[in-house]
A and B are shown apart, each in its own frame.
Chain A
Amino acid sequence: MSQENMNNNIQHYLNDFEQLGDNIKSDWFSEQRQSALSLFKESGFPSSRQENWKYTDTRPIAKKEFLHSSDTSVSISSDQIDAVRFQGLDCYELVFINGIYSIDHSRIQGLPENIVIENMAAALAKDSELLEKHLARYADNKVSPFTALNTAFIQHGTYINVPKNTAIDKPINILYLSKNNDQPFASHPRNLIVMGEQSEATLIESYIGIDDANYFTNAVTEVSLSASAILKHYKIQQESLNAYHIGNLNVMQGKDSRFESNSISLGGSLVRNDIHGHLAAEGASIVMNGLYMTDNKQHIDNHTRVDHLKPNTYSTETYRGVLNGKSRAVFNGKVVVHPQAQKIEAHQNNANLLLSDDAEIDTKPELEIYADDVKCSHGATVGQLDQDMLFYLRSRAIDEETAKSLLTYAFADEVLKDISFAPVKNRLEYLIVGRLPDAALIREFTNE
């Protein structure tokens, strides 16, 4: 696609930006948005000629005219929301419908006074120093045009501030629900989580599409962890099969902090997840787990990057993929050990199960190392179900389809079994079994 075409295709984003108006007066914020918009204007959508987008063609997104979601009248019934909630889980919950905060459905009552959980728009209206210090400081607009686009449209999203020496009593669940409106729409959720020293929290981000809604979610989450802070982060992506999802997670980590990322991608027609961890002080560690299951014509791309900026930092990563139908998945995991960052341990693993001859996996684990006292490894495999295991099950009178489902489930469960937060683990196990043939039987087999 020529540059000219690209520019034409972003015109409606520029128009929508004009419509946004300047309801938030602070200078720093206006500048942020303006500069992000000009960056996006300049670059347009990324092309597959760029190394970072080699295997993912964003033209389907560029081609469609997604208008900025501003219709506050869209409603979703309580029943529908209840259906996607964690049953029986006592949590703080923020609900967004088509990218717009729904005060009616959200439940943040009883929040301890020192903790802030609120809609980004509300936080911006208060314009705190803290917000200025952290917002748009970790997700780099220059790295991805989508991040720049999101920054230009910052409005709704979640702002969380946990002060030092505080552990939140309940997990936080953020639900981004999307359903069809008159026109295909784009939403740009922006989340910022600021964790003080020795604070602790569990956060679930769910992106859920209702029916076969047609939309584009362009989410950016920034996390700042002060010394010894711990954040467990779960992202469950269940967008509709007509939806496009671009997600970016950037984490800045202080001394001895720990970040746990679990990213499960099941839905969406074209999906790209970027996770970038900055281990910026000694003792910081990051764990990244991921599972992607694709079918039909889905395309799911997971890019992760860890920068070991200081000595004695640690990272481990396990990503698994199950590919069926005519789907395609991409994995790119990069570990960068910067000069003088000695005593590093970094391990990475990506395993893929190809269940169909029409599916394609492109994987690229990368190591870039500029220090010598390191222990780094990565592994990547592509394969199919073990014939011996299959035979074992068949010889015990389990029919082929069920046996395959069982083994596929076992493969995927390698990622889920390490999830320490039971409600999420159970939900995910349920979801994954649900995608396999003979789900009921598998549940019976695996029920303890």
Chain B
Amino acid sequence: MSTNSENMDDLVGKDYEHGFVTDIDSDTVAAGLSEETIAFISAKKEEPEWLLEWRLKAYRHWLTMEDPTWAHLDIEHIDYQAISYYSAPKSKDDGPKSLDEVDPKLLETYEKLGIPLQEQKFLAGVAVDAVFDSVSVATTFKGKLADAGVIFCPFSEAVKEHPELVKKYLGSVVPAADNFFAALNSAVFTDGSFVYIPKGVRCPMELSTYFRINASNTGQFERTLIIADEASHVSYLEGCTAPMRDENQLHAAVVELVALEDAEIKYSTVQNWYPGDENGVGGIYNFVTKRADCRGNNSKVSWTQVETGSAITWKYPSCILKGDNSVGEFYSVAVTNNHQQADTGTKMIHIGKNTTSTIISKGISAKKAQQAYRGLVKISKSAENARNYTQCDSLLMGDQCGAHTFPYIEAKNSSATVEHEATTSKIGDDQLFYCLQRGIKEEDAVNMIVNGFCKEVFKELPMEFAVEAQKLLGITLEGAVG
């Protein structure tokens, strides 16, 4: 793996490059959360009755719950009544039918984000379902995907077009009452992505969604549902950026993956939301519930994540290995700098026979950042010959940062093999010295060592993400060395 060619000196003090605000009239509902707000969202989305009921049920349950405090995080109190729960860019009622109909200001935003919407058809076979605030405004490559029978559309569209699929799978992996933030999301989610891969189909391209938070003070509540039917295969990319803000923005997404027999889902995330400034002011709160259900035999789900942004990350992409011989994987690089906090990890629940899981987690903590790996490997009594391998390493940069590891292992089957390994250290002086005496600048040397440290995870990412991830790493750690 090559080192980042950019000089660290140039990167130091570099402003968050995606920090800009597009000036668009938003159709925003007044702040506050009540049954009326939920009814408003539901009506705005022209949702069927059952979905409104489902939302209300989640909301009523949410009212009985309390903010979780068990994570190793210092979270300022969130006033849920001060958040506006719906915001949609103004456009024609019917929504854009082609690129020409898309608001030019939106196109400008995508340009800055580096999504060449006009050139998407040439974009390395990637279809983009861009979520701008809460309404999905553009979807491409629909034709090609439709030929393969793949459904890839905004969630609200799926509710209208494929209600039977939505009704069958929504909340079947992450129940509405699962946890505080999932319940909140279930009540107020506005949009997201829906993917269905039919039996025996290998999705012809990698699916990608750019999430973007724009309107000030609007929490984003995305809902993603991916269903891979028998013997199908899909690779899904999720990338995030956000403009610079002073207020804390709440993001509580829910991602549900369902893998049926012999199906495979690969879910990759590069998360680069605004982390707050050097003094820890502002930044996104990223409280996400991601869970995959390996329902069928021989199914496989692989989570890969590169987490560099957000002021606070609370995220545990998990796998329920229900089917026999099913496989769960979790590859993660989490970088925290300045005052960022992250409590992240995974859960692997082994239920089926011969299930295997692999967890590779790499954490880098710099300056005053605090980071924790929190994981659970559970071997149920029925999980004969289950196998797990876990490795979590932490790299510390600066004498005021913290790195913590909380792995839970619960084993109830004597044929199971579970291995957990964790190390925490700083960059070795001898490693640095080796590079320096060969004329490599300290910044470059650190960059090289850090990239080497994360290599195991980066190699799991699709090519274009891997390149972006490496760059992000350099930017996130800017000024951390010295």
Interface residues of A (CB under 8 A from B): 51, 339-340, 342, 352, 354-357, 359-384
A375: chain B residues at CB < 8 Å are 423-425
Q: B122 interface residue, CB < 8 Å from A? A: no
Bound complex: CA A365 to CA B418 (Å): 13
Q: B394 interface residue, CB < 8 Å from A? A: yes
Q: B80 interface residue, CB < 8 Å from A? A: no
Stretch at the interface among B33-41, B150-158, B334-342, B400-408: B400-408
**Contact present for A354 and B416 (CB under 8 Å):** yes
**Contact present for B405 and A378 (CB under 8 Å):** yes
How near does chain B come to A246, taking the closest CB pair, in angstroms? 22
Please judge, given known A-B contacts A352-B411, A362-B410, A382-B411, whether A377 and B423 are in contact too, CB under 8 Å: yes
**Contact present for B424 and A364 (CB under 8 Å):** no
**Contact present for B414 and A366 (CB under 8 Å):** no
Q: B26 interface residue, CB < 8 Å from A? A: no
**Contact present for B413 and A374 (CB under 8 Å):** no
How near does chain B come to A137, taking the closest CB pair, in angstroms? 28
How near does chain B come to A434, taking the closest CB pair, in angstroms? 23
**Contact present for A363 and B409 (CB under 8 Å):** yes
**Contact present for A354 and B411 (CB under 8 Å):** yes
**Contact present for A354 and B414 (CB under 8 Å):** yes
Which residues of B (375-416) have their CB < 8 Å from a CB of A? 379, 381, 394, 396-416
Q: A355 touches which one: B400, B412, B414, B426 (CB < 8 A)?
A: B414
Bound complex: CA A352 to CA B413 (Å): 12
How near does chain B come to A312, taking the closest CB pair, in angstroms? 15
A359: chain B residues at CB < 8 Å are 412, 414
How near does chain B come to A390, taking the closest CB pair, in angstroms? 14
Please judge, given known A-B contacts A357-B381, A365-B407, whether A382 and B422 are in contact too, CB under 8 Å: no
**Contact present for A367 and B405 (CB under 8 Å):** yes
How near does chain B come to A56, taking the closest CB pair, in angstroms? 13
A-B contact pairs, 5 of them (CB 8 A): A354-B414, A367-B422, A375-B423, A380-B420, A381-B417
Bound complex: CA A360 to CA B413 (Å): 7
B402: chain A residues at CB < 8 Å are 368-370
Bound complex: CA A87 to CA B119 (Å): 87
Q: B421 interface residue, CB < 8 Å from A? A: yes
- Besides A363-B409, A365-B422, 9 new A-B residue pairs in contact (Cβ under 8 A), listed by A number: A339-B400, A352-B411, A360-B411, A370-B400, A372-B401, A376-B424, A380-B419, A382-B409, A384-B417
Q: B70 interface residue, CB < 8 Å from A? A: yes
How near does chain B come to A379, taking the closest CB pair, in angstroms? 5
Q: Which residue of A lies closest to B400 (CB)?
A: A339
Bound complex: CA A364 to CA B401 (Å): 23
**Contact present for B399 and A383 (CB under 8 Å):** no
Please judge, given known A-B contacts A363-B409, A366-B404, A367-B403, whether A381 and B426 are in contact too, CB under 8 Å: no
Bound complex: CA A374 to CA B399 (Å): 10
Name which of A368, A375, A382 has the most chain B CB atoms within 10 A of its CB: A382
Bound complex: CA A383 to CA B425 (Å): 28
B414: chain A residues at CB < 8 Å are 354-357, 359, 384
A361: chain B residues at CB < 8 Å are 409-411
Please judge, given known A-B contacts A361-B409, A366-B406, A378-B405, whether A372 and B416 are in contact too, CB under 8 Å: no
Q: A369 touches which one: B409, B416, B424 (CB < 8 A)?
A: B424
Interface residues of chain A: helix, strand, loop or mixed (majority)? strand
**Contact present for A354 and B405 (CB under 8 Å):** no
**Contact present for A360 and B423 (CB under 8 Å):** no
**Contact present for B396 and A377 (CB under 8 Å):** no
Q: B418 touches which one: A360, A368, A381 (CB < 8 A)?
A: A381
**Contact present for A380 and B410 (CB under 8 Å):** no
Q: Which residue of A lies closest to B402 (CB)?
A: A370
How near does chain A come to B111, taking the closest CB pair, in angstroms? 41
Which A-B residue pairs are the 5 nearest by beta carbons?
A372-B396, A354-B414, A382-B418, A367-B405, A382-B411
B426: chain A residues at CB < 8 Å are 372-374
Q: B425 touches which one: A340, A370, A374, A378 (CB < 8 A)?
A: A374
Please judge, given known A-B contacts A369-B394, A377-B422, whether A384 and B415 are in contact too, CB under 8 Å: yes
**Contact present for A362 and B408 (CB under 8 Å):** yes
Bound complex: CA A52 to CA B169 (Å): 37
Bound complex: CA A382 to CA B409 (Å): 9
**Contact present for B406 and A383 (CB under 8 Å):** no
How near does chain B come to A376, taking the closest CB pair, in angstroms? 4
How near does chain B come to A170, taking the closest CB pair, in angstroms? 42
**Contact present for B396 and A369 (CB under 8 Å):** yes
A373: chain B residues at CB < 8 Å are 399, 426
Q: A365 touches which one: B379, B411, B420 (CB < 8 A)?
A: B420
Q: Which residue of A lies closest to B401 (CB)?
A: A372
Please judge, given known A-B contacts A354-B411, A361-B409, whether A382 and B416 are in contact too, CB under 8 Å: yes
Q: Which residue of B lies closest to A383 (CB)?
A: B417
Name which of A367, A371, A383 has the most chain B CB atoms within 10 A of its CB: A367
**Contact present for B404 and A367 (CB under 8 Å):** yes
How near does chain A come to B419, taking the closest CB pair, in angstroms? 5
Which residues of B (269-307) have their CB < 8 Å from a CB of A? none
Please judge, given known A-B contacts A366-B404, A369-B424, whether A382 and B396 are in contact too, CB under 8 Å: no
B415: chain A residues at CB < 8 Å are 357, 384
Bound complex: CA A374 to CA B403 (Å): 11
Q: Which residue of B lies closest to A384 (CB)?
A: B414
How near does chain B come to A369, taking the closest CB pair, in angstroms? 5
Q: Which residue of B lies closest to A379 (CB)?
A: B421
Please judge, given known A-B contacts A354-B411, A382-B379, whether A369 and B404 are in contact too, CB under 8 Å: yes
**Contact present for A360 and B412 (CB under 8 Å):** yes
Bound complex: CA A376 to CA B381 (Å): 33
Bound complex: CA A371 to CA B423 (Å): 14
**Contact present for B413 and A357 (CB under 8 Å):** yes
Q: Which residue of A lies closest to B376 (CB)?
A: A364
B408: chain A residues at CB < 8 Å are 362-364
**Contact present for B397 and A372 (CB under 8 Å):** yes
Bound complex: CA A339 to CA B403 (Å): 12
**Contact present for B425 and A376 (CB under 8 Å):** yes
Q: Which residue of A lies closest to B412 (CB)?
A: A360
Q: B410 touches which one: A355, A360, A372, A381 (CB < 8 A)?
A: A360
**Contact present for B405 and A380 (CB under 8 Å):** no
Bound complex: CA A384 to CA B416 (Å): 7
Q: B420 touches which one: A362, A370, A381 (CB < 8 A)?
A: A381
